[in-house]
């Protein structure tokens, strides 16, 4: 069965181009041109991925993303027209999995779509494995002082309290934890955590690090766990 993609874009020529290129890759594509129809289509059809424009008539992409986030775990790739929207797009409030800034190439879009679908597949497989290992009561837990990462449950706790993390924040934290003490460049993090096989936009890493710090650092303004390496990237100190 081909993977189902919902395209939400009100500009007819771009919508047509997106549908054409995604169908050419073998995806099962449905397209709508406004936010309310996007909600209806997502609920009716449970797509494997949603490509969501921000500026839409009726309900905008931010609202659509916020609502769907509460209802389903589908990867959402947002299309932004302005750089200053990016923080909101990947921020906690909206919580898109990835974004592209217009104008973008179809090659870039297809690479992101593929990466998100692959990531969702890996998470599903991991969830499947969790069920098996849980019955065996084998928990793989990484501990750093008051911070615990239970890789079996995909659950992070700080001083015994569960820290709510989005899937990509969790993946990033585990990646840091597995490379404790190493300087990690933004490009390397992008490649390994986001699965981008080309130089992407490293601000994605910065934004996610900022959100992670707000959740796991005592003082996000002077981080002790995830430190910035000047001119380099980041290093997880534990
Ligand atoms: Ca638009």
pLDDT for residue 19? 97
**Predicted TM-score (pTM) above 0.85:** no
Distance 26 CA to ligand 1 centre (A): 25
Residue 136's pLDDT is 45
Report whether pLDDT(132) > 60: no
| DSSP characters over 76-121 | EEEEES-GGGHHHHHSTTT--SEEEESS--HHHHHHHHHHHHHHHH
Angle (deg, nearest 10), helices 167-178 and 203-216: 90
Residue 97 has pLDDT above 50, yes or no: yes
92 pLDDT higher than 70: no
103 Cα: distance to centroid of ligand 1 (angstroms): 12
Distance in Å, CA 39 to ligand 1 centroid: 16
pLDDT > 70? residue 130: no
**Of 29-33, 137-141, 162-166, which has the strongest mean pLDDT?**
29-33
Tell me how far the alpha carbon of residue 198 lies from the centroid of ligand 1, in angstroms: 27
**pLDDT (0 to 100) of residue 197:** 55
pLDDT tens per residue across span 183-229: 999 888 888 888 765 556 778 899 999 999 999 999 999 999 999 99
pLDDT at 199: 55
Q: Band the pLDDT of 15: cuts 50, 70, 90.
A: very high
Question: Would you say 49 and 23 are in contact if contact means Cβ atoms under 8 Å apart?
Answer: no
Q: What percent of the chain has pLDDT over 90?
A: 60
- The token pair at 13 is 């020529």
Q: What percent of the chain has pLDDT over 70?
A: 92
Per-residue pLDDT, 127: 74
Predicted confidence band of residue 142 (pLDDT cuts 50, 70, 90): confident
Question: Tokens in use for 9?
Answer: 């874009």
Q: If DSSP codes are grouped into helix, strand and coil, which group holds residue 23?
A: helix
Reported confidence tier of residue 139, pLDDT bands at 50, 70, 90: low
Cα of 12 vs centre of ligand 1, distance in Å, is 9
Count of C-beta atoms within a 10 Å radius of residue 118 = 12
Which domains are delineated in the chain? Answer: 4-128 (3.40.50.2300), 134-236 (1.10.10.10)
Q: How far is the CA of 132 from the centre of ligand 1 (A)?
A: 44
Q: 14 vs 35, 67, 145, CA distance in Å? A: 16, 24, 50
28: pLDDT strictly greater than 50: yes
> Secondary structure of 17-43 in the HEC alphabet?
HHHHHHHHCCCEEEEECCHHHHHHHHH
Distance 10 CA to ligand 1 centre (A): 5
User: Tokens 């490293």 map to which residue?
Assistant: 202
Distance between CA 234 and CA 30 in Å, rounded?
A: 40
What's the pLDDT score for residue 236? 95
User: Which of helix, strand or coil describes residue 73?
Assistant: coil
**Residues near ligand 1 ion, CB 5 Å cutoff:** 10, 53, 55
| Per-residue pLDDT, 188 | 84
Q: Which of 12-21, 97-106, 122-131 has the lowest mean pLDDT?
A: 122-131
* Three-class DSSP category at 169: helix
Q: What is the mean pLDDT of the chain?
A: 88
Per the CB < 8 A criterion, the answer to whether 29 and 7 are in contact is yes
């Amino acid at each position: 069965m081909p993977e189902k993609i919902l395209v939400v874009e009100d500009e007819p020529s771009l919508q047509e181009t997106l549908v054409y290129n995604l169908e050419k890759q073998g995806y099962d594509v449905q397209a709508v041109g406004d936010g309310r129809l996007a909600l209806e289509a997502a609920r009716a059809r449970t797509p494997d991925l949603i490509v969501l424009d921000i500026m839409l008539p009726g309900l905008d992409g931010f609202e659509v993303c916020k609502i769907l986030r509460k209802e389903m775990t589908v990867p959402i790739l947002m299309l932004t027209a302005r750089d200053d929207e990016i923080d909101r797009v990947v921020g906690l409030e909206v919580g898109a999995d990835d974004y592209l800034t217009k104008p973008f190439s179809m090659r870039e879009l297809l690479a992101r779509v593929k990466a998100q679908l692959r990531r969702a597949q890996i998470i599903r497989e991991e969830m499947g494995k969790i069920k098996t290992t849980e019955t065996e009561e084998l928990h793989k837990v990484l501990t750093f002082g008051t911070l615990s990462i239970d890789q079996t449950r995909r659950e992070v706790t700080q001083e015994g309290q569960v820290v709510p993390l989005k899937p990509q924040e969790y993946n990033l934290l585990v990646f840091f934890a597995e490379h404790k003490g190493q300087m990690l460049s933004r490009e390397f993090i992008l490649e390994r955590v986001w699965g981008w096989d080309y130089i992407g936009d490293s601000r994605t890493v910065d934004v996610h690090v900022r959100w992670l710090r707000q959740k796991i650092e005592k003082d996000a303004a002077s981080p002790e766990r995830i430190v910035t390496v000047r001119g380099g990237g980041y290093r997880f100190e534990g």
